[in-house]
Chains A and B, each alone.
Chain A
Amino acid sequence: MENIIEVNNISKLYKLGQITSSTLKDDLSDWWGRVRGNQSQMLPDQDNAASNKLHWALKGVSFNVKQGDVLGIIGKNGAGKSTLLKIISRVTGPTTGTIKMHGRLASLLEVGTGFHPDLTGRENIYQNGAILGMKRGEIKNKLDEIIDFSGVAKFIDTPVKRYSSGMFVRLAFAVAAHLEPEILIVDEVLAVGDADFQKKCLGKMKSVAEGEGRTVLFVSHNLQAVKNLCNKSIYLVDGKINSIGETEQIINNYLLREAKRVTEVSYETPAQAPGNSEVKLKLAKLEILDKDKDYIDVHTPFNLKFEFWNFMNDKEVNLSLHVMDIKGECIFNIGTPIIKVKEGILFGEAQIPGNLMNDGNYYISIMVVKDKSTPVFHFEEQLHFEVADERGDVMWYAKWQGAVRPTFLKFSIENPA
């Protein structure tokens, strides 16, 4: 299949800082520099003194998109995802590079793209279609379908300024998806709107791509949605393409790199280690038990291993483990049985099964306790890891609620005939 979008070496330079009265002076000297043919003044390189006022939002990005592809674009905030979409949708120009596109493009960069508040829903449908370069007849043909899909038929002759934000997005998405663009660009809009509509949108995006052979570019932080929808993905890091390919692989790369974590701390000698005269931490380690995975998702079982230097003799000791979420709330606390210890190494191990943790960021703290209830030392936030979301083919993309997500609890439904 042929390429419908060819992105070739796109870079985007932003000038930072405020526009002040000195801007005029700078502009004039820039202009004078250009008149004299001093090109280097326009595109400073990295070590230029002025480059701290400049920021490359994208640097040397190249890729191709084939017709019918649903391309996910993932990356952290500030990685350049939105800038890339802005350049492709011609809202702003690139500093260098070219993009070739074969086809009409519709973008949903934000909620209510290009709606005029004073116009009614119906009038806005026409205006939106016209913005995409459509003729009156084409829009008219699609009108009923759009109104039907948006679910705001009752309010279609009301000015959109009186719409709720949810209604706004519904209508905006309905217009963009039905006006038959060859290329559809969607950026994070799914954050708004109820779950039902999200599902409808994603379903529509899928059918637009698979059924009608159109091309979709999709930017989202919702990895679950990206995984279900996109056959190819791009992972951007600091304005450059880190990797591009099959979505599954790209999401792996993303999680490996971005999931903030400390999965192992170890100390060579007690002198450097945290602790006190009675106990010192030697090792804390997270071990993933699924051989195929390099990161933890909600189904992944893992072990937490600890080693201590123990300087206490003939004491009754146990360990107490705290799993805390990012807000500092304790998700659960488990303790070991009490044993009698002698000076030497103490080993501790906790097995966390899969299908217990909800997705999110977690910290591990461990406490050594003596005489049943006296804390010896509390080793706080030693390990830090992220549990990624993974729901298989479940078409539900909102945040899964709850502190934990256990599946071993039996919950059944019956419908006796």
Chain B
Amino acid sequence: MSNSDQQKSSSFIEIKPTYPLFDLRIKEVLHYRYLLFLFVKRDFITIYKQTILGPLWHLLQPLLTTFIFTAIFSHFAKIKTDGPPTLFYLSGLIMWGYFAACINKTSTTFISNAGVFGKVYFPRITVPLASVISNLLSLSMQLILLIFFLLVYHHQVCIQYTILLLPVFILVLAFIGLGVGIIVSSLTIRYRDLAYLVTFGVQLWMYGSSVIIPLSVVPDRYKFLFKLNPVIPIIEGFRYSLFGKGAFLWIDFLYSIAFTVVVMLVGIILFNRTERNFMDTI
């Protein structure tokens, strides 16, 4: 077999009307890893082209929101927080911000990329994956900001061993965000109403995700409702790891992971089904 023959057989493509219901196509995504990298770079660059402060916006956003939340919810509304209010809000906002960004960015995958998708083929999943990864960059900058605040409030900080779970916390948020996002993006092709629902829904979701109100101040009879929210164990768990306050139960954490797996499964099935023919509907 000559060299060119080998090259050819490696890029054999078969187009069929139907494919297996669940197909991760990890090999294909790996082949396109340079594209994934470029998408991440592009996401990051294009947001801040023609801005003055550039990436500093990543830090200003949570910082300003933290000050406002501290003033409104802590000083005026006197809502009790686990740990110092500034740290409480900042840590919650950073994690939530990442999660919300993942959903919002990925939920418009098909509609905002219809132009490109309509002309060339590449694995569509690279686009939402790139969003999730590029959001990681701003998350890490924000975590550095958080470390700075942890140093300032060091006498109230009490790092727990669960901090080792931080990568898992972030992964769970990333995949719930990605899963929900690609489900929504697949369904918005046919039902545009969902696009409006999502922006609004994510905002409402925040109020029930212990970003502002810790689980510890929620009345017991409503607690079961909050327990259904897979994001709470992550945010509460993160705070517990930082200052030893708040609720962290392994059972809740496992529930979050299970939820992640289910939402990703459904997401991938829907996404794969949609990507083949969505250009006919859009």
Contact = CB atoms under 8 A, between A and B. Distances in A.
A125 B222 CA distance: 55
A133 interface: yes
Contact of B15 (A15, A93, A126, A131): A93
Contacts of A24: 190-191
B56 to A, nearest CB: 20
Contact of B42 (A94, A127, A133): A127
Contacts, number: 111
Most chain A CB inside 10 Å of its own CB: which residue of B12, B42, B120, B277 = B120
Interface string B106-140: 00000000001111111000000000000000000
A174 interface: no
Interface stretch (B30-38, B66-74, B176-184, B212-220): B30-38
B13 interface: yes
Interface in A338-387: none
B32 A133 contact: yes
Interface in A99-142: 99-105, 107, 109-110, 113-114, 116, 118-119, 123, 126-127, 130-136
A98 B34 contact: no
A89 B120 contact: yes
Interface string B251-282: 00000000000000000000000001101110
Chain A interface category by residue count: 35 or more
Contacts of A104: 11
A101 B12 CA distance: 6
B25 interface: no
A91 B117 contact: yes
Contact of B122 (A15, A101, A131): A131
Interface in A128-171: 130-136, 159
Given A93-B276, A119-B46, A133-B32, A113 B17 contact: no
A99 B14 CA distance: 6
A87 to B, nearest CB: 7
B11 A182 contact: yes
Contact of A113 (B31, B34, B46, B120): B120
Given A98-B16, A103-B11, A107-B120, A116 B34 contact: no
A95 interface: yes
Contacts of B15: 87-88, 90, 93-94, 98-101
A3 B49 CA distance: 47
A159 B120 CA distance: 21
A405 interface: no
A396 interface: no
A54 to B, nearest CB: 12
B120 A95 contact: no
Contacts of A101: 12-15
Contacts of B45: 118-119
A273 B25 CA distance: 71
A92 B46 contact: no
B42 A14 contact: no
B122 A102 contact: no
Given A27-B190, A92-B279, A133-B31, 17 more contacts: A14-B280, A89-B119, A89-B120, A91-B121, A92-B280, A93-B17, A94-B17, A100-B13, A102-B13, A103-B11, A104-B11, A113-B120, A116-B46, A118-B45, A126-B38, A127-B35, A133-B11
9 contacts: A24-B190, A91-B117, A91-B279, A92-B277, A99-B15, A100-B14, A101-B12, A102-B9, A126-B38
Interface of A: 14-15, 19, 23-24, 27, 86-105, 107, 109-110, 113-114, 116, 118-119, 123, 126-127, 130-136, 159, 182
A-B interface, 7 closest residue pairs, ranked by CB to CB distance from nearest: A90-B121, A130-B35, A93-B276, A99-B15, A118-B46, A101-B13, A92-B279
Interface of B: 8-9, 11-17, 31-32, 34-35, 38, 42, 45-46, 49, 116-122, 190-191, 276-277, 279-281
